Amino acid sequence: MTIDSIADILDAEILCKAEHKNREVFSACGSDLMSDVMAFVKEQVLLLTGLINVQVIRTAGLMDIGCICFVRGKKPSDEMIAMAEEQDIVLLTTKLPMFIACGKLYAAGLTGGGVRNI
């Protein structure tokens, strides 16, 4: 699934790195605990989170997460956006709560845990 498709499904705004909207994502992880995110890491993953601090960007950069979607209408600071730009990370924001956002993506075919076909 492309980031552009994800943005459409979640009615999300692309905040930075829109030029990568055709980047493929194969799985998703919804968490506010960065230690859980580090344990989850898969290739070409989308991180959904309500946590708004620079640690989210640092963790994504460390784990090669190419796209982060902030839920519940949260928006990252200018510092976070600049860090994401430097690390080539696409940032999205949606007004949806995490549970609904994850459910919509799962219903559209995006899985968690790196599982592509169940």
The neighbour count for residue 35, using CB atoms within 10 Å, is 9
Query: Would you place residue 4 in the very low, low, confident or very high pLDDT band (cuts 50, 70, 90)?
Result: very high
**Cβ pair 34, 56 in contact under 8 A:** yes
Model pTM score? 0.89
What are the residue boundaries of the structural domains of the chain, listed by start? 3-109
Q: Any idea which residue has 């190419």 for tokens?
A: 66
Distance CA 29, CA 48 (A): 6
* The pair of three-digit structure tokens given for residue 45, joined into one six-digit string: 């993953």
Per residue in 53-107, pLDDT tens?
Answer: 999 999 999 888 999 999 999 999 999 999 999 999 999 999 999 999 999 999 9
Nearest to 93 by CA among 58, 50, 36: 50
What is the H or E stretch that residue 62 is in?
helix 54-62
CATH number for the segment(s) 3-109: 3.40.1390.20
* The pair of three-digit structure tokens given for residue 5, joined into one six-digit string: 């498709």
